[in-house]
Structure 1
């Protein structure tokens, strides 16, 4: 991939997206985690424990090539992002829960992302020099957390500006992600058909399972509807930009970034279809008001 994209484009894209997240965050969002531990704990358990195990089962079942399998597990270990918040907002989810989950999971992922990815690398070890040192991962998350902190500071000092910038930054984030996905696919154009054949079905299945798990597991434990929708979007809509950045910059493998690029396309389609389905179900279940008695 072009060096300008990897050295300038990817960090800039990640910074803009995480700055956008920071514009939605306040200290109160972190306090909300303590006031609502049940929904947060269930969603994090699904995202950090259950889904990586499901992803590993899928890459084994479909016998993916090593770098594509590592890329899938890197994706599974990546937290949700601002796109998850947007989907949650569109489909009546609890956006405040999304923001809290994204914030806490981004911090937890400093440990879990390299742990899961290194386990995948060890499993598929073929004597390659690919590694994921903790020190470099901390540097990556500095790129993530510093823009979030700046965004929070802007919101605290200039709330009207933060509110005005919210929509433009979200739109810019979506455009940037789309551009990165396109760049990955163009860079790998000679192999893209093979990659889609190799990883497209796995990515689609993983996305569908993530969305369904994120909704039905919390509901089974008594979490309310809006929070279950938020959990579904948080778990099903991963931070593809971060996964692409780690694959290209740390693992130094464009091939390992392909699953995140493919998933980023698939998740937009599946999350939209799932969100529309949930909205229809909610409307169907809403009680019909009794007719007003007349004279």
Structure 2
């Protein structure tokens, strides 16, 4: 499979469909819920929009990552949550409504934040000595087309044909998880001779980032005196990112296969860490219930 087919056709089509699926699960009420639980939303947005990129930047400096890998790490940190974070929140008995609302709000914000911060990251880590560029305004428009428009279409379908939307949404939700895994596997297969080098360059950094933000998001919510369900949702929203969007930005919009590496390693790692985090949460909750009894 040629890089052009993957980055120019498959990734954009998959991302459009995934965001359409997100829209099929959203109502205007989800955006109104922001005002019903302003504290939880504020903590979640702070964790995802501020804490996550700062942690990624510190890790990139601490690990002295190669410039393109460092930019790729920043891109995955800038991506919103997605179907994966919503799914793990549900499986771990977290606040699914909060998780979906956070995903929705951040997905609307990130088409404006990703191009700006990614461009600043490229300037900081790579300077002028790079063949890659990221026109901020053009990229904002491209991301709006590939994210906000399909979400709006999905919401429209849900508002008009609810029963059909729910059937399609269930299929697309699982499709989004498996399609991300398929894209990652295709990239791994294409670069199988270099995967050990890729993991050597980015694997440990993305693992540290993933574990750090899962725990930091959860603990930030707990320290803010949010309830257990809300804390679980925020932990997953901060800790599990939309890998397909990160791959689209790095591979399709910027055109760097190297910048895609952190998104690949992060996407492989987050399924395992997500399961372990959910197991730890459930074990912790059950232990607390046993002590109370």
Q: Do the two structures share a fold, i.e. TM-score over 0.5?
A: yes
Match of residue 132 from structure 2: 130
Residues 174-204 of structure 1: CA deviation (Å, up to 9, x unaligned): 1110111112222322321111011101111
* Residues matched between the structures, number: 290
Say which is worse superposed, 264-273 or 45-54, in terms of deviation.
45-54
Residues 65-103 of structure 1: CA deviation (Å, up to 9, x unaligned): 111110000111111111110110110111111111111
TM-score, with normalisation over the residues of structure 2? 0.95
Q: Which of 176, 201, 204 is residue 201 of structure 1 equivalent to?
A: 204
Q: Tell whether 2:264 aligns with 1:249.
A: no
Match of residue 94 from structure 1: 95
Structure 1 alignment gaps of length 5 or more: 291-295
Conservation of the 8 A alpha-carbon contact between 2:83 and 2:177: no
State the 1:287 CA deviation: 5.8
Residue 255 of structure 1 aligns to a residue whose secondary structure is coil
Structure 2 alignment gaps of length 5 or more: none
Aligned partners of 2:255, 2:4: CA distance in 1, in Å?
11
| Structure whose CA Rg is larger | 1
Aligned partners of 2:230, 2:37: CA distance in 1, in Å?
10
Match of residue 43 from structure 1: 44
Q: Which of 207, 214, 219 is residue 216 of structure 1 equivalent to?
A: 219
Aligned partners of 2:196, 2:152: CA distance in 1, in Å?
40
Aligned partners of 2:134, 2:149: CA distance in 1, in Å?
21
Residue 182 of structure 1 aligns to a residue whose secondary structure is helix
1:1-150 equivalences under 5 Å are 1-124=2-125, 125-134=127-136, 135-150=138-153
State the 1:227 CA deviation: 0.6
Aligned partners of 1:141, 1:188: CA distance in 2, in Å?
30
Say which is worse superposed, 277-286 or 129-138, in terms of deviation.
129-138
Aligned partners of 1:288, 1:119: CA distance in 2, in Å?
50
TM-score, with normalisation over the residues of structure 1? 0.94
State the 1:165 CA deviation: 2.3
- How well do the aligned residues superpose, as a CA RMSD in angstroms? 1.5
Residue 58 of structure 1 aligns to a residue whose secondary structure is helix
Residue 134 of structure 2 aligns to a residue whose secondary structure is coil
Conservation of the 8 A alpha-carbon contact between 1:19 and 1:150: yes
Aligned partners of 2:153, 2:108: CA distance in 1, in Å?
16
Aligned partners of 2:273, 2:124: CA distance in 1, in Å?
30
Residue 256 of structure 1 aligns to a residue whose secondary structure is coil
State the 1:163 CA deviation: 2.0
